[in-house]
Amino acid sequence: MNTVLSNNLKRLRQQKKLTQEQVAEVLRVSSHTVSRWECNTTLPDVIQLPEIARLYCVTIDDLFKESSVAYENLAQRLATSFEFSRDPEDFIRADLEFKKLIKNGEMTPNDMRTYGIIHQFMMNYCKDKAFLWYDKVLKQDSKQDELVYQKTRAQKMTLLAQLGRADESIAQQHTMVEKDETNPNEWCLLVAAYMYAGRYKEAYDWFLKAVAKFPNEWELYIRGGDICKQLKRYDEAFVLWDKAEALGTKYLDGKYSKAFYYEEMHEYKKAYDVWCEIVEELKKGGFEIEAEAEEKRAKACFEKMHK
């Protein structure tokens, strides 16, 4: 009979500094049964393996591997799996175990460190995937779906800005504008590049140049309004958002900008009213899931109004 399992059961128990009696109590069997497992006289029932693995802070597969090691806890074991596999499903499993430790107040400093590490690994995984799929869109013909193409370029800019690489977007957009000065989308993206970089004064200057060339581009007014908000030119921001709405936005952008502004200013009654308008518009368009999410925002504002 293969002795790997029995040897592991004995070694893991000893590493966890447990007696056969203690193991027997946890697993609701007799100490004689535990002894027979470790002597390779009998084997645990397959339905007992998950509980045994959890007790020794390993996976079920570990029970059948040569020289398995007991970890501090199962979260640490699953974190190790993710460290080597970089599989998001392994991250999810580890994350769930760490959340149990957090809920029970059992996180050690090493657990905290490891929890941070797996999030860092997952962040890098997600960053790489984001670039991969953005670039897949950008390699396609822009005329296939021009709106999606432009929004993808803008979204990639936000990612670059988050990574401290906003200057790349700015330089690229200046090149794009020089190549096609008659394209309002390129000007809008240039304004956005400066805005995402946090260079709001320069963004505003480029907004003025762009809107002078393209006075009927709603997205420019949204960008301009958002920039004015950052510059604390609030009255001007509302004028620009209203102008965008008058021209007709694609995604209720002006209303969203106003709603977020009112929340930031703690004007919850006004924020509530705008969120309700957004919910109504979303429902009219058949966007029930989106409407449900914004209803929660409206509800949160309503509750803050009555505190």
Of 119, 139, 159, the position where a domain reaches its end is: 139
Its domain, for residue 191, covers: 142-243
Eight-class DSSP state of 2: -
How does the average pLDDT of the chain come out, rounded? 94
50-101 tens-digit pLDDT: 899 889 888 888 889 887 888 889 999 999 999 999 999 999 999 999 999 9
Same domain, 238 and 148: yes
What CATH number is given to the structural domain containing 181?
A: 1.25.40.10
Same domain, 128 and 203: no
Same domain, 21 and 54: yes
Same domain, 5 and 46: yes
Of 219, 243, 267, the position where a domain reaches its end is: 243
Same domain, 159 and 211: yes
pLDDT, mean of residues 156-185: 96
pLDDT at 1: 55
SS3 at position 45: coil
Contact 89, 118 (CB under 8 A): no
Same domain, 8 and 54: yes
- Residues 6 or more apart from 172 whose CB is under 8 A from it? 193
Residue 235 burial (C-beta neighbours within 10 Å; 0-12, 13-18, 19+):
exposed
Same domain, 131 and 148: no
Same domain, 96 and 149: no
Q: Which of 80, 30, 25 minimizes the C-alpha distance to 58?
A: 80
Q: Which residue has the higher pLDDT, 65 or 200?
A: 200
Same domain, 230 and 151: yes
Tokens describing residue 176: 């794009």
Same domain, 257 and 296: yes
Same domain, 123 and 187: no
Return the exposure string of 266-275: e unless at least 16 CB atoms fall within 10 Å of the residue's CB, then b: eebebbbbbb
- Residues 6 or more apart from 79 whose CB is under 8 A from it? 94, 98, 114, 115, 117, 118
Tokens describing residue 152: 């993808």
pLDDT bin (cut points 50, 70, 90) of residue 176 is: very high
Predicted TM-score (pTM) of the model is: 0.78
| H or E element at residue 36 | helix 31-38
Q: What is the CA radius of gyration of the chain?
A: 29
- Residue that has been written with the tokens 């990639």 in this structure: 156
Number of domains in the chain: 4
pLDDT at 184: 95
pLDDT, mean of residues 150-167: 96
Of 70, 102, 118, the position where a domain reaches its end is: 70
**Nearest-angstrom CA–CA distance, 236 and 49:** 66
SS3 at position 222: helix
What CATH number is given to the structural domain containing 55?
A: 1.10.260.40
The vertex-162 CA angle with 217 and 242, nearest 5°, equals: 25
Same domain, 159 and 229: yes
**Helix H segments across the chain?**
4-15, 20-27, 31-38, 49-55, 74-85, 88-103, 109-138, 146-162, 166-179, 184-196, 200-213, 218-230, 234-247, 253-264, 268-284, 288-305
**Nearest-angstrom CA–CA distance, 98 and 123:** 17
pLDDT bin (cut points 50, 70, 90) of residue 231 is: very high
